[in-house]
């Protein structure tokens, strides 16, 4: 089991991962590329999530996420996405739209996530439901911090994550 999902039951046997994983991806050194990490940080700071929902800052991890994603019921990925829309446009991709997300990569970690999901599909351990919540980046320059445009969309993205969780029957508190 991956570091973030690693828990031991009282008898020393690995416990099952939380059924819901919110995975924030991105490189915080490349401006808006770090939006997924920023969403995870805000959720950790301002919201109380129910048992069974796990937050994970996946950074730019690739195949190391294999154990963290294995056998989840719901996977919500938060990341910068290239959609051809104006910068700051928030998108929610589900079902068959998700593979298309990986064809228009912003960065290498998205290809790695695609590979992880492919391996999990082959082993029968893929998350049952995958949703990508993304925002069109304005800047991918080497610098810390989001552009004002993308930073201004964080609350919208968090709202989308909360909508997905509530649709799955999770109660979220501030």
Q: What is the pLDDT of residues 74-120, one digit of tens each?
A: 999 999 988 889 999 999 989 878 876 666 555 555 667 888 888 99
In a domain, 10, yes or no: no
In a domain, 113, yes or no: yes
Is the pLDDT higher at 73 or at 61?
73
**Residue 102 contacts residue 111 (beta carbons within 8 Å):** yes
**Which pLDDT score, from 0 to 100, does residue 41 have?**
97
Q: The whole model's pTM is what?
A: 0.87
Residues 38, 140: Cα–Cα separation, whole Å? 15
CA dihedral of 39, 44, 47, 50, whole degrees rounded to 10: 110
β-sheet bridge partners, residue 96: none
**Which pLDDT score, from 0 to 100, does residue 148 have?**
98
Residues 79, 101: Cα–Cα separation, whole Å? 10
Is the pLDDT higher at 96 or at 136?
136
Q: Which CATH number does the domain housing residue 83 bear?
A: 3.40.50.1450
Is the pLDDT higher at 148 or at 113?
148
**Which pLDDT score, from 0 to 100, does residue 114 have?**
81
**Which pLDDT score, from 0 to 100, does residue 1 have?**
40
In a domain, 14, yes or no: no
Is the pLDDT higher at 162 or at 11?
162
Give 108: exposed, middle or buried? Use CB within 10 Å, 0-12, 13-18, 19+.
exposed
**Which pLDDT score, from 0 to 100, does residue 7 have?**
35
- H or E element that contains 150: helix 148-151
Is the pLDDT higher at 105 or at 139?
139
In a domain, 8, yes or no: no
**Which pLDDT score, from 0 to 100, does residue 63 have?**
81
**Which pLDDT score, from 0 to 100, does residue 60 have?**
82
The string of pLDDT tens digits covering residues 4-60 is 433 333 344 456 778 999 999 999 999 999 999 999 999 999 999 999 999 999 988
Count of structural domains within the chain: 1
In a domain, 118, yes or no: yes
In a domain, 106, yes or no: yes
**Which pLDDT score, from 0 to 100, does residue 98 have?**
80
In a domain, 126, yes or no: yes
**Which pLDDT score, from 0 to 100, does residue 12 have?**
44
Backbone angles phi, psi at 54, to 5 degrees: -120, 140
In a domain, 36, yes or no: yes
Residue numbers of the domain that contains 95: 20-166
């Amino acid at each position: 089991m991956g570091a973030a999902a690693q828990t031991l039951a009282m008898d020393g046997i690995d416990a099952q991962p939380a059924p819901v994983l919110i995975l924030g991806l991105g490189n915080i050194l490349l401006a808006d590329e770090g939006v997924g990490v920023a969403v995870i940080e805000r959720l950790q700071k301002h919201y109380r999530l129910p048992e069974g929902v796990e937050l994970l800052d996946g950074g730019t991890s690739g195949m190391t996420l294999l154990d963290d994603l294995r056998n989840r019921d719901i996977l919500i990925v938060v990341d910068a996405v290239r959609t051809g829309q104006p910068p700051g446009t928030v998108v929610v991709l589900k079902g068959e739209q998700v593979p298309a997300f990986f064809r228009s990569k912003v960065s290498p970690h998205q290809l790695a996530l695609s590979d992880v999901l492919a391996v999990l599909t082959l082993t029968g351990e893929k998350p049952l439901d995958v949703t990508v919540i993304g925002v069109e980046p304005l800047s991918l320059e080497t610098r810390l911090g989001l552009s004002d445009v993308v930073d201004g969309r964080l609350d919208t993205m968090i709202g989308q994550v909360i909508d997905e969780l509530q649709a799955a029957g999770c109660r979220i508190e501030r």
